[in-house]
Structure 1
Amino acid sequence: MNDNRILVVDDEEDLCEILKFNLENEGFEVDTANSAEEALKLNISSYDLLLLDVMMGEISGFKMANILKKDKKTAQIPIIFITAKDTENDTITGFNLGADDYISKPFSIREVISRVKAVIRRTGNATAKESSEQIIYKGLVLDISKKKVSIDEHEISLTKKEFEILLLLLQNKGRVFSREDILSKIWSDEVYVLDRTIDVNITRLRKKIGEYGKQIVTRLGYGYCFESE
């Protein structure tokens, strides 16, 4: 199985299951949702591509795409619209919203698979590059290249050491680092640093990242780790 995750959003449950079955046979990891409302409750930023039906309930596929494109965490996720509407105006609307492709019903499964693979190939390099420069945990975003941390798009101020500690823990979620590990990696160029310095920086960091502070867990006798829920 490859690492690409796809979310299929369509109010036709049978169609969702058919697409899920066939795409999983091609090695993709696939989730489904039967409405935009249901889909928007998921962690959309974790998907590599969306197959999105246009004609749904209160929130149409076009409206959902517009919501996602306005959010920095989901703006770059490729979208393929699937719809029974194939007029020129609808196609133009879809592409103006940032769609990467547009498939009209009825379609063949082979066509869908071919287009999905083409879009992932085309967008994969850019997505990988961006992912390598950012570490995202829910609303917490650490930008490695810009040396910035934001929560729900609001930048927070961290010292250099606090930033480096958070980067170390986020890059290794679930791994416990002893004080000695953290000292050697973050304070490697300094002659003498007390263990207490680590504790003080961790305490300040927890406060600054608010609700995510509880994810930095103390393992008594061992050290610290960033624990995902």
Structure 2
Amino acid sequence: MAVYYVEDDENIRQLVLYALTQSGIQAEGQPDDTAFRAACAKSIPDVVVLDIMLPEVDGLEILRRIRNTPGKLSRVPVMMVTAKNSELDIVRALDAGADEYITKPFGMMEMVSRVRAMLRRASDWGGGRCKDVLSLGALSLDFQARELLVDGAPVALTMREFDLLAYMMRHSGVVLSREKLLQNVWGWDFSGGSRTVDMHVLTLRQKLGEHADAVETVRGVGYRLVGSRPGDSVVE
């Protein structure tokens, strides 16, 4: 499985590529959108790691194009890398279809761990390992089609949003801490100060529309998924 890392700073790009390849991950680097387009024309990657601050065409524009490209590329999981740490920038990246984000400066072990977790998720996504359907009130998740239906209408989710909702549906009614969600959905240990779960819950609620209140915030702990109507329970 291959990873493409788009970063214009050659020193950072080479350092990350070295860390990934030394960990047994096949990785290629591109300095800009032109090189990334050329690489994708030859072979579609399994995961894309994309810096936001790029020359000429920035990472968010590239991400939007990826998600709007018909075929396999539109479904490739993408992690955004940025020096910015504002909530607005993170939300914009997730709204544009990012599955994950990491802010500079970052540790090489954390980068490798996150990429490895994304590769595992990408493998599960493509392999169709789960063939069941989960339903809770107005929400229905089809694992074989990797599709969410809300009141019978399809709603587009990123890979990470799908996995987050699936885990919460399997544990509906249970209060789930951010640490537990990170460990079981992202596959890496919680790092103090991370807003990863909060940002994904925010974008997930936006996509659930009038059923957004099915994802409850439990102050000081985490989140709980409940039925959108009284008496709702998970049906498998």
Please, what TM-score do these two structures have when normalized by structure 1? 0.53
Instruction: Provide the residue aligned with 1:34 in structure 2.
Output: 31
Asked whether 1:63 is paired with 2:55, we answer no
| SS of alignment partner, residue 38 of structure 2 | coil
State the 1:115 CA deviation: 0.8
Please, what TM-score do these two structures have when normalized by structure 2? 0.51
Q: Distance in 1 between matches of 2:67 and 2:27?
A: 21
Instruction: Provide the residue aligned with 1:15 in structure 2.
Output: 12
Q: Equivalent pairs: percent with the same residue?
A: 26
* Contact 1:76/1:127 (8 A) holds in 2: no
Which amino acid in the other structure matches residue 50 of structure 1? V
Query: Where has structure 1 moved over 6 Å in runs of 4 or more?
Result: none
State the 1:110 CA deviation: 0.5
Q: Distance in 2 between matches of 1:116 and 1:22?
A: 11
Q: Distance in 2 between matches of 1:26 and 1:12?
A: 21
* Contact 1:53/1:82 (8 A) holds in 2: yes
Instruction: Provide the residue aligned with 1:77 in structure 2.
Output: 76
Aligned length: 127
CA-to-aligned-CA distance 1:91-145 (integer Å, 9 cap, x gap): 0011111111100000000110111112222232112349xxxxxxxxxxxxxxx
Decide which structure has the larger Cα Rg and report it: 1
Which amino acid in the other structure matches residue 56 of structure 2? E
**What pairs with 1:125-164 in structure 2 (closer than 5 Å)?**
125-129=124-128
Which amino acid in the other structure matches residue 79 of structure 1? V
CA-to-aligned-CA distance 1:145-198 (integer Å, 9 cap, x gap): xxxxxxxxxxxxxxxxxxxxxxxxxxxxxxxxxxxxxxxxxxxxxxxxxxxxxx
Q: Distance in 2 between matches of 1:90 and 1:118?
A: 23
Instruction: Provide the residue aligned with 1:183 in structure 2.
Output: none
Instruction: Provide the residue aligned with 1:144 in structure 2.
Output: none
Greater relative contact order, per chain length (Cα 8 Å cut-off, separation 6+): 2
**What pairs with 1:114-129 in structure 2 (closer than 5 Å)?**
114-129=113-128
The unaligned stretches of length 5 or more in structure 1 are: 131-229
| SS of alignment partner, residue 99 of structure 1 | coil
Which amino acid in the other structure matches residue 62 of structure 1? L
Q: Over aligned residues, Cα RMSD in angstroms?
A: 1.6
